[in-house]
Amino acid sequence: MSMNRVTGGSPFVQPNLLDKFQVDKKDKDGAEQAGAQSGANTSATPVADRAEISDTAQKLVDLRAAVDTGRAALDSLPEVREEKVAEVRQRMQDGFYQSAEVQEELSGILQGVLNKMDEL
């Protein structure tokens, strides 16, 4: 049995078979879109493509932009600022970072950062 004989007589592969039926669809806004008219061989009106970006995806895009901006700012700084490294080492040896004032200020800064992250 040849392939033409099998598919040639099948009603499922006949061209324009579905054009004989009318299908009504509702688009997202509730407006009706009529399908091909009964017995007519007309082409359907093309529907414009559109995309919707969720709030979560938009927040991710904004976050990515912020990260890219931060990276660009870091790239503009010198790799190692020797004077800062020397200052921090001296403060560590003096116990500056163990003081209650510094720890309290640092905890306030970290709390602000965490609050900002919760807003995202």
State how many domains the chain has: 2
100-119: pLDDT as tens digits:
999 999 999 999 999 999 88
Burial class (CB in 10 A: 0-12, 13-18, 19+), 74: exposed
Question: Are 72 and 106 within one domain?
Answer: yes
Average pLDDT over residues 15-26: 56
- For residues 27 and 71, membership in a common domain is answered with no
If asked whether residues 59 and 108 sit together in one domain, one would say yes
- State residue 43's pLDDT score: 61
Do 62 and 15 fall into the same domain?
A: no
Q: Give DSSP secondary structure letters for 27-87.
A: -TTS-EEE-SPTT--PPPPPPPP-----HHHHHHHHHHHHHHHHHHHHHHS-S--HHHHHH
Q: Is 60 in the same domain as 114?
A: yes
Instruction: Please check whether residue 111 lies inside any domain of the structure.
Output: yes
pLDDT tens readout for residues 22-69: 555 555 555 555 444 444 455 677 788 888 889 999 999 999 999 999
Within a domain: residue 106? yes
Task: Say if 61 falls within a structural domain.
Answer: yes
Q: Give CA–CA dist 28/47, Å, rounded.
A: 12
Are 24 and 80 members of one domain?
Answer: no
> Same domain for 74 and 115?
yes
71/25 same-domain check: no
Burial profile 25-55: b = 16 or more Cβ within 10 angstroms, e = fewer: eeeeeeeeeeebeeeeeeeeeeeeeeeeeee
Does 114 share its domain with 69?
yes
| Confidence band of 7 (pLDDT split at 50, 70, 90) | very low
Domain membership of residue 24 as a residue range: 3-34
User: What's the confidence (pLDDT) of residue 38?
Assistant: 46
Together in a domain, 60 and 30: no
**Average pLDDT taken over every residue of the chain:** 77
Tell me which H or E stretch contains 114.
Answer: helix 100-119
